[in-house]
Amino acid sequence: MCEVYERLRVLADTNVLVAAVTSNEGVSARLLIAARARRYRLIVSPRLLEELDTVLARPKFRRYLSSDDARRFVVMVRELAEVIDDPPAPSEPITPDPDHDFLVLLAEAADVDVLVSGDSDLTGLHRTSLVVKTPGEFLASITVPHHW
């Protein structure tokens, strides 16, 4: 395994993790497979894991996985990822959605290389301290052979 990839620190938005379980063949599922293969280091926090657990507990997700499978998925993500502390609340808004502010601050506090999100509030964000890519863009960046 290439050591460069193992050092790549990536924060996945909750929507990306949810998409991984709702579409087993989708881009987000392939991103999670890449994390399990140690192509990059997945970063999470207690708040992000709690949000994932809360979202997957909603009845609309029972068609994709049982309640027990949802809990097992959250445990698998926790065990797979590096868990860092939640950042403090922002002093002023960063994005139109406070949940997105949390992700931006978490990404910066964790010193991630990439924040992966399908949300346009984040993919359109311009901060010098943060690279945001869609799941497709990120998957392409780790699967295209690099010529060093």
Residue pLDDT, tens place only, 97-128: 877 889 999 999 999 999 999 888 788 787 77
Summarised one tens digit per residue, pLDDT across range 29-68 is 999 999 999 999 999 999 999 999 999 999 999 999 999 9
Which of 118, 32, 115, 47 is CA-nearest to residue 81? 32
Q: Are the C-beta atoms of 114 and 11 separated by less than 8 Å? A: yes
Instruction: Collect all residues with Cβ–Cβ distance below 8 Å to 121 and sequence separation of at least 6.
Output: 95, 96, 97, 100
d(CA 104, CA 115): 8
Residue 88 lies in a domain: yes
| DSSP 8-state secondary structure symbol assigned to residue 60 | G
The reply to whether 43 falls in a domain is yes
Tally the domains of the chain.
Answer: 1
Query: Does residue 148 fall inside a structural domain?
Result: no
Q: What is the mean pLDDT of residues 13-22?
A: 95
**Residue 89 resides in a domain:** yes
The rounded mean pLDDT for the chain is: 89
